[in-house]
Chains A and B, each alone.
Chain A
Amino acid sequence: MSRKPFVREVSKTGWYFKHARYMRYMSREITCIFIGAFALLMLCALGRLSEGQAAYDSFLAAIEGPWSALGLLIVLIFAVHNTTSWFNVTPKAMPVQIGEEFLPGKYIVAAHYAVWIVVSLAVLFFAGAV
């Protein structure tokens, strides 16, 4: 009896279209593009800040406007998607064993959300936005 195993090819560029769970994974991963872009924006702001009032004020004027706002809204949506997906998987990386039981993941997740809300409010308050 002769063997001739058959190898099924997997598309290197299209594999994630094959299942909803892979699309969800990719949507989570591409948040990094927006986080990175935002970091570069903050870097720009810092650079202009170091050049003096005139330079910085023109930066502020440049980011004001409807297209800017739309862009930043999209960044915000992906930033929040990163937050929720990050928090949801955190318990997996840090199991907390108490005696023979494990702390249910939902408490760890809930604690993260609580801290997130507190930190966000603190920043908004400190920034004079509220």
Chain B
Amino acid sequence: MNARMVELDVLRYDPEADNEPHFQRYVVPCAEEWVVLDALNAIKESIDPTLNYRWSCHMAVCGSCGMMINGEPKLSCHAFLRDYDGVIRVEPLANFPIERDLITVADDFIDKLKRVKPYLIPARNEPVPEGEYKQTPAQLMKYRQFSMCINCMLCYAACPEYALQPMFLGPAAIALAHRYNLDSRDSGRDERQEVVASNAGVWECSFVGACSEVCPKAVDPAAALQQVKVASTIDWFKEHLLPGGGK
């Protein structure tokens, strides 16, 4: 194994002992093809078993290992050591409270996901014996891109509006609402609009676009949010200008 010594500055925080977080320097032998997650695992295995962090699949599909690597939100299983020079700074994902070490409190994000009703709300609940809902490939392609979200929260870490206004629903939640709104099997858009079209919903977004830049699955939440703004605007004019609210 081609090993080189890699230095990492990892932000530590023990809620029972510390008043605030502090960096700890680790030096660990790493193989050339390793990612930051491998380095963290090596540290935990042989240098410091008290280091805490989330991870699972190690292949950028579970969304567990999001953290700030040299100030950039990344999946630690997706950040190759060979792309970094010098000391690598590893911190918990930005814009979320720190629970312990690299683990953040994700409650706000989970709560927001729930609030957009991220499930199919059909017009009528057909009984199962009636058969399955049919969907053409073209209907699938309409929303497919936005269904690829792995809930890794990198977009929330990148979004300055979420940083400044924690009430903001945020990129992933709104993109997810859009995914269901675009689904031909769904009729729940009106219900979701109560949350999505509010001031703390899509209208807090100022199209910085950082969310799409950091998304590891090319979901392009920024595009989803702009499309939601356009649709919500058309809605608003229909509701306020057409008799019967355009319904």
**Per the CB under 8 Å rule, do A and B touch in the complex?**
yes
A contact set with B: CB distance below 8 Å: 1-8, 10, 12, 15-16, 18-19, 21-22, 25, 29, 89, 92-95, 97, 99-102
Q: Decide if B246 is an interface residue (CB 8 Å cutoff).
A: no
Known contacts A22-B210, A92-B222; A8 and B160 CB within 8 A of each other: no
Point out the residue from B98, B213, B223, B226 that lies within 8 Å of A21, measured CB to CB. Answer: B213
Point out the residue from B15, B94, B137 that lies within 8 Å of A100, measured CB to CB. Answer: B137
Known: A6-B15, A10-B163, A97-B138. 20 other contacts (CB 8 A): A2-B16, A4-B16, A5-B15, A5-B98, A6-B13, A7-B97, A8-B97, A8-B98, A10-B164, A15-B164, A21-B210, A22-B160, A22-B210, A25-B208, A93-B226, A93-B227, A93-B230, A95-B223, A100-B141, A102-B141
The 10 lowest CB-CB distance pairs between A and B, nearest first, are A5-B97, A92-B223, A4-B15, A93-B226, A6-B98, A10-B163, A25-B208, A100-B141, A7-B97, A100-B138
Return A27 CB to nearest CB of chain B, in Å.
12
B contact set with A: CB distance below 8 Å: 13, 15-16, 20-21, 71-72, 94-95, 97-99, 105, 137-138, 141-142, 160, 163-164, 206-210, 213, 220, 222-223, 226-227, 229-230
Complex CA–CA separation, A10 to B68 (angstroms): 15
